Amino acid sequence: MPASPGRGPRLTLPTLAAAPRVLRWLGPLLLAGAALLGGSPAHADLARIRQAGTLKVAVYKGLPPFSSMAGSQYAGIDVALAQALGKALGLSVALMPFDADENMSDDLRAMVWRGHYLGYGPADVMLHVPVERAFMRANDKALIIAPYYRETFVLVQDRERVPDVRGLEDLAGQPTGAAAGSAGANALLSAGGGALRDRVKIYPEAATALDALFAGEIAAALVTRAQYESALKAGGHAASRYAATDISAPLLPPRGWAVGMAVKAGERELAEALQAALDSLRGNGELARIFGGYGVSMQAP
């Protein structure tokens, strides 16, 4: 099964490994917002949305720190971003949380341009969509726009046990961890021709791997930067004890991947309005404040 980013969106492309939940990219090639929006006929859907007064926003279930259940409601960076976009457009927001399908093309079909066969969706806009040229060409029924973050993998090590790491081979003899099916797990298991395999522990979620690191059960974990930073803040751990190192490995995307939004192809007015709203949130500092509220540093796409 091809791999996708963090436990949620999964993308199938000929050159992308896609196990449950972490994308492996050819390269994060972005298209400028204006280029993305050009050439599509305007739709009346923005007028319909304004008349209804509500923006329907699709967010992934179980994708912390971006969107997950917190008590009886959804919370996270993408949830807060959805609310901020709605406010900027003068609209209320109705969240449409959904489970990731076998690949992200299926997610776009269900939540952006057709709707699920069980009658759920589509939404007006879907968040946390990879902004990558080949993927965009392969999914021309969706208009992918407005990148707002660049996710990357980092090796988080306990400085007391692993003071310095330049490559995965420096972890030889040390217990390490990653989330099941993630590109991080694949990278650790394959490093040095499998030299680390016997000391690699696979956890159900990145959060579980990080809990094991903070508890001293493992010496390092290979997770996304957002997963690490949000867990560090939520747990109140001493950042000085840990280091997050950018790591290069064949099974990791070399520069990470940008995430943005998707609307149905042809909905140019809606796309332009969302891009303008995002630009405003970025310009007035609200976007950085949303990420900061979850302990995540703003990484420009």
How confident is the model over 230-288, as pLDDT tens digits? 999 887 777 789 999 998 898 898 889 999 999 999 999 999 999 999 999 999 999 99
Going by pLDDT thresholds of 50, 70 and 90, the confidence category of residue 148 is: very high
Domain check: are 235 and 260 in the same one? no
Span 69-89, average pLDDT = 96
Q: How many domains would you assign to the chain?
A: 2
Given this model, what pLDDT does residue 4 score?
A: 42
Element (H, E) at 190: helix 183-190
Question: Residue-wise over 246-255: b if at least 16 C-beta within 10 A, else e?
Answer: ebebebbbee
Q: Is residue 18 part of a domain?
A: no
| 210 band by pLDDT with thresholds 50, 70 and 90 | very high
pLDDT band (50, 70, 90) for residue 39? very low
Residue 1 lies in a domain: no
**Alpha carbon distance 203, 133 (integer Å):** 32
Domain for residue 260, yes or no? yes
State the SS3 of 242-273.
Answer: EEEEECCCCCCCCCCEEEEEEEECCCHHHHHH
Do 129 and 236 lie in one domain? The reply is no
Q: pLDDT class for 195, splitting at 50, 70, 90?
A: very high
Whether residues 107 and 236 share a domain: the answer is no
Segments forming the whole domain that contains residue 176: 153-246
More confident residue, 103 or 128: 128
- At residue 26, does pLDDT exceed 70? no
* Same-domain check for residues 167 and 88: no
For the chain, give the percent of residues with pLDDT over 70: 85
Q: Do 104 and 219 fall within a single domain?
A: no
Answer whether residue 5 is part of any domain: no
- Tell whether 37 and 130 lie within a shared domain: yes
Tokens of 132: 């990558």
CA distances from 301 to 80, 254, 260 (A): 18, 14, 9
Q: Is residue 168 over pLDDT 70?
A: yes
pLDDT tens digits, residue range 218-242? Answer: 999 999 999 999 999 887 777 789 9
Mean pLDDT of the chain: 86
Comparing CA positions, the residue from 70, 58, 60, 79 lying closest to residue 4 is 60
Is 139 in the same domain as 159? no
C-beta of residue 132 within 8 angstroms of C-beta of residue 28: yes
Cis? peptide before 122, omega within 30° of 0: yes
Q: At 57, which CATH number?
A: 3.40.190.10
Same domain, 121 and 171: no
d(CA 247, CA 242): 15
Distant-in-sequence, close-in-space partners of 221: CB < 8 Å, separation ≥ 6: 155, 156, 176, 177, 178, 184, 206, 209, 210, 212, 213, 228
Q: Give domain status of residue 117, yes or no.
A: yes
Q: Please, what's the largest Cα pairwise distance for the chain?
A: 62
